[in-house]
Amino acid sequence: MTVPDHQPWILRGDRPEQSPAVPAGVEYHRVYAGQSRRILRGVLAIVLLVAGFVGFAVLFQHLSEVVDAALFGRSGPSTPLRQAAGALALAALIPYCMLLQRVLYGVPAGSLHSVAGRFRFGVLGRTLLVFGPPVLVVVAVGALGGDGGSAPWTTADLVWFFVIGMVLTPLGAAGEEYGFRGLMFRVLGGWTRGARSGAILGIVVTTVLFSLIHGTLDPFLFTSYLVLFSSMAIVTWRTGGLEVAVVLHGVYNVSALVLGTTLHVDVGAELANRSAAVGSWANLVPSAVLVVITAIIWWATRSHGPTRTPENGWPTSGARGTGPHAKTLAGR
């Protein structure tokens, strides 16, 4: 049994799991919404999210420094182990955010993946096949505007950077999505009375906040972050889940890391000194493609609107909720 054919092509074929703890017929960002706005609970969730974001980073960085010094006799931000630690710290946000959602809102962990209550691998596969190559190509084209680097990587370093880039970097990108386009987007989206206003609040706040966290106000770099993170938030809203954002963000980061180390760019040092970085028009090349991809997804979901949590066993699109809090949960 598959999702009915009227679903947008990118969402077909993934059977949802309905849960009594998840309101029926609501958009992804409205799952926490209810008769009361629960502002204090939301503030607590955001504070705990930021604490986890910072805490995991500090913990994994310290562990990597100790191991690097003890086993390899080296230090600094540009070692394979430090790169792995950074990715693992972000990946730890995935189970952490699921735990916060369960404890603070009583919503099953799987609901954080998507409105289907599970991770939709079909959506991931179609996104990777259709949109992955264009993102990879434009990141590569953007790299042509750089001057390369002179980091003295050994062959072993390059091999480990490649393995880390292909295996752990996608998990790190996913952790950022679960934290900001997942948990925080849902918290903010539940603070308004309508679904559309909740989406706008969630998209704007998560985009600006996460762009600022990246530590630069350079106009080119900051604009590229605004486009990247707003695109991730919009596609999450329209598709009713994090799968598309995880793929796009993952391909973006993997391409940048693997290309950087291939060109002997000191990626770790650049990340550590991002506030002093100077961007160029080349940084906006991937942004243009992300805008096009976001427009394509919006167009694909135009007939039915954002995908909602299941009613009668299947996810709905563009219909109002029918649960006990339908007036509160539905858009105005």
Q: 60: closest CA among 95, 94, 88, 97?
A: 88
Burial class of 327 by CB neighbour count within 10 A (0 to 12, 13 to 18, 19+): exposed
Around 43, how many Cα atoms within 13 Å sit in the side-chain half-sphere?
Answer: 4
User: Rounded CA gap, 228 and 316, in Å?
Assistant: 27
Q: Which of 324, 320, 307 is nearest to 14 (CA)?
A: 307
For the chain, strand residue ranges (E) read 307-311, 314-317
Q: In whole angstroms, what is the distance from residue 191 CA to residue 39 CA? A: 7
CA 233, CA 245: separation in Å to the nearest integer?
8
Instruction: Give the pLDDT of residue 19.
Output: 76
pLDDT for position 237:
97
The residues pairing with 114 across neighbouring beta strands, listed in sequence order, are 241
Q: Which residue carries 């947008």 as its tokens?
A: 8
pLDDT at 154: 86
* Burial bucket for residue 98 (CB in 10 Å: 0-12, 13-18, 19+): buried
pLDDT of residue 149: 64
CA 186 to chain centre: 13
Splitting the chain (332 residues) into consecutive groups of 10 residues, what average pLDDT does each group show? 64 75 91 85 96 97 92 81 94 98 94 94 96 94 70 86 94 97 97 94 96 89 95 97 97 92 78 71 90 97 90 58 40 38
The distance in angstroms from the start CA to the end CA of the chain is 33
Phi, psi of 287 (to 5 degrees): -60, -40
- Please state the φ and ψ torsions of residue 126, each to the nearest 5 degrees: -65, -40
Closest C-alpha among 117, 110, 126, 86 to residue 235: 126
Whether residue 71 contacts residue 63, with contact meaning beta carbons closer than 8 Å, is answered with: no
* DSSP secondary structure string for all residues of 122-155: HHHHHHHHHHHHHHHHHHHHHHTTS--------H
Strands 314-317 and 307-311: antiparallel
Amino acid at 308: R
Contact at 8 Å (CB) between 24 and 309? yes
pLDDT of residue 50: 96
Residue 241 has a pLDDT of: 96
Q: What is the pLDDT of residue 5?
A: 52
Torsion of CA 82, 87, 93, 95, to 10 degrees: -110
Q: Give the count of alpha carbons within 13 A of 304, CB side only.
A: 22
Query: Residue-wise over 143-182: b if at least 16 C-beta within 10 A, else e?
Result: beeeeebebebeeebbebbeebbeebbbbbbbbbbbbbbb
Q: Cα–Cα distance between 93 and 171 in angstroms, integer? A: 10
DSSP strand E in 112-253: where?
A: none
Q: What is the pLDDT of residue 315?
A: 58
User: Full-prediction pTM beyond 0.75?
Assistant: yes
